[in-house]
Chain A
């Protein structure tokens, strides 16, 4: 419940947010198109082939991630008191913050030709080793990145169900299968579509993983072609058109599958997961544990490989390097600024959608809501390399000044994090509104006071989660930084790739470890912030 003035403010804010996003994407694209007379665009067999492959690998990756996330989320929800569970959920946030190259090397330590799995198989007398190169490797890497994400999304959906459901299920004697069919699946199904859409978009735009693990140019995605068009071919119009093809195709697939709605990640209810009296000890419960253990191993093993490699590095020397601290400072600053921007943008969009949803509304309102909805998803598909190049073109005279490139990097990172942030904030915002809306009206707490005293405090926990998520994503990102480069903007992923690019593999491993620790720390911090608030509540 909002007052008329609050409605107006919410919608104005929404239009402002959409305008900002449109400008952030539109301006650089226009600059690229205006500034050159490119060779243009033809539909050639190459384009058809990579389009097919892009959709194939993204489709399979998504199907696998979701298919595995459902039983895993279910198993985790069924065992709220499992030792190490909250630690595992925190670890699940790390892959998002890792540069893909680091993750790829971690995966190779486990699954590569000389990896742990193949060494074990060899010892067991299996001489046909598991190959990580090719489509199977791409799928494995994508599952590594997206299974934790999809699992978290769906677990939150299950944990949002009231505790009485499980008590009733227990009293009524519902079997495991019936609980799944009648309670768990309906809750999961609501989220699976949105989660699948998110994972699909992430897989469509995957670049490094596809090339490193793909085995050869047969594994080429549209994103590679976009990069190629901007690099050796230097044909910006083609890059823009390829990007448009990518956006159009992906939206078409998502709309056809009706999965363009946002899945919601409620702030993790750490320690507040409802008890599950419907879960009886026995074989199925054991199977749950085995599944959780296997998934944990799958996700943790490559992380552990990264950790071990990092510990082997000369950490003392790395940590006493002034350049590293400069990189840490810059990375944290950029990430914090990007996360703040992203969270504020998300709040604007979420509030506008809430305002439209709450009242009978005219055509403009529906357009606003629809735009805010897709803005929260499709920005993932706008290739940072294209946006970066466009902005670069516009700012070319001004790149000597640091502030402008930094602002662009912050803006691009903020946009990449936006879909995640919205998914965290939107459901919590809805809950908070339905809980406090009438009360605020009746008490006359409105406008900025309401925002400060009621709405934002009520959202503290999801905001902290969203903030940490956005920071982690931004920490691991190289894309935007690489374009502006210069030895003046030194971020952690940039430094890492510099070390790797000059034979200093061990140093790079050490920096990867520092990145992982930072991500972990962010997640832990956001959990604690949230938990502190929870405890303070009467």
Chain B
């Protein structure tokens, strides 16, 4: 740094130069899909889906990722009809009512007979592409007899801790809130007050909670029924297992829809139809670690056979969630803050 006068221009130049190679250039027929980031991660379904769809449609598929489903909806609210996307992929059933209220979505008009999800979800705007059940995942090295019901979780030994997510900031957190609501109804506040002593901490998102769990801080975490499949397949380990609850598991169905302002509506519709074919569905299980919502070309890998089979699928109607979410979150906050 002998010439300090060159210092800043130089660094600014390096800064800008570093960014140039990342710039993308557009194609003729392009479909832009908004989704959540983990879907399009290198290891997510995104790259494979892109390859398969592009081979099929003779077009270009551009992913745009945001943090998660909630952020996806917020982005749409921010952009309104200026959104560049044709398809939005990654909302869950809890957000569907709110999403429809934006009146940004158009009916899909595709054949959804291939869809097979618990409870038989059907909607003229949104099409399911995968689903999963929430579950308490536990560490078999720390817990020999996991809770066998939500009631046992709530009333169990407070020294056996669980990490949960915050319903104010995360989707699984909202899932547990609804799960408790589905079972306890008006007594939810009392249930939370009891569960509170078992809760080690409440994290802003799934990553923090699961990080604490795998680092051994807590023997239980709120996650998904499919979580153990990752450890079985990628790490060849049976250490982490999901607990089956006798009341059933709360269900999360992920859906996609077409935007009214889609630049290429036909391409968007084509993508939604493609979503229910094997080219898309084959990637879901071992890349998104969720259950496919339509037939796959081959049976799922063996470890999926060993996952917990929910005794009952719990799902509160989207309208009810939208109407009461705020009050329920307040109630949760009250009960957990005492």
Contact = CB atoms under 8 A, between A and B. Distances in A.
Please determine if A and B sit in direct contact within the complex, based on CB atoms under 8 angstroms apart.
Answer: yes
Interface of A: 35, 46, 49, 101, 104-105, 108-109, 112-114, 133, 207-208, 211-218, 220, 224, 227-228, 230-234, 321, 323, 326, 329-330, 332-334, 336-337, 339-341, 343-344, 389, 392-393, 396-397, 399-400, 402-403, 406, 410, 451-452, 456-457, 459-460, 463-464, 467, 482-483, 485-489, 497-498, 500-505, 508, 529, 532-533
Contacts of B329: 232
Contacts of A233: 326
B65 A487 contact: yes
Contacts of B326: 233
A215 B218 contact: no
A214 B201 contact: yes
A340 B15 contact: yes
A406 B199 CA distance: 40
Contacts of B174: 232
Contact of A503 (B12, B19, B22, B210): B210
A326 to B, nearest CB: 7
Most central of B66, B227, B325 by chain A CB within 10 Å: B66
Which interface residue of B37, B78, B199, B216 has the most chain A CB atoms within 10 A? B78
A485 B65 CA distance: 6
Contact of A343 (B8, B18, B161, B215): B8
Contacts of B205: 501
Contacts of B280: none
Q: How large is the interface on B (under 10, 10 to 19, 20 to 34, 35 or more residues)?
A: 35 or more
Given A101-B211, A224-B169, A464-B1, A234 B66 contact: no
Contacts of B78: 35, 389, 392-393, 396
Interface of B: 1, 4-5, 7-8, 11-12, 14-19, 22-24, 26, 37-38, 40-44, 46, 63-67, 70-71, 73-75, 77-80, 82-84, 161, 166, 168-169, 174, 196, 199-208, 210-212, 214-218, 227, 230-231, 234, 289, 325-326, 329-330, 332-333, 336-338
Contacts of B169: 211, 224, 227-228, 231-232
Contact of A501 (B26, B38, B77): B38
A451 B37 CA distance: 46
Contact of A212 (B42, B204, B234, B289): B204
Contacts of B218: 113
Contacts of A332: 18
A212 B74 contact: no
Contacts of A400: 26, 84
A502 B41 contact: yes
Contacts of A46: 330, 333
Which of B75, B196, B326, B330 has the largest count of A CB atoms less than 10 A from its CB? B75
Contacts of A483: 66
A501 B207 contact: yes
Contacts of A213: 201
B336 A216 contact: yes
B204 A105 contact: no
B230 A503 contact: yes
A518 B112 CA distance: 51
A485 B70 CA distance: 14
B27 to A, nearest CB: 12
Contacts of B325: 232
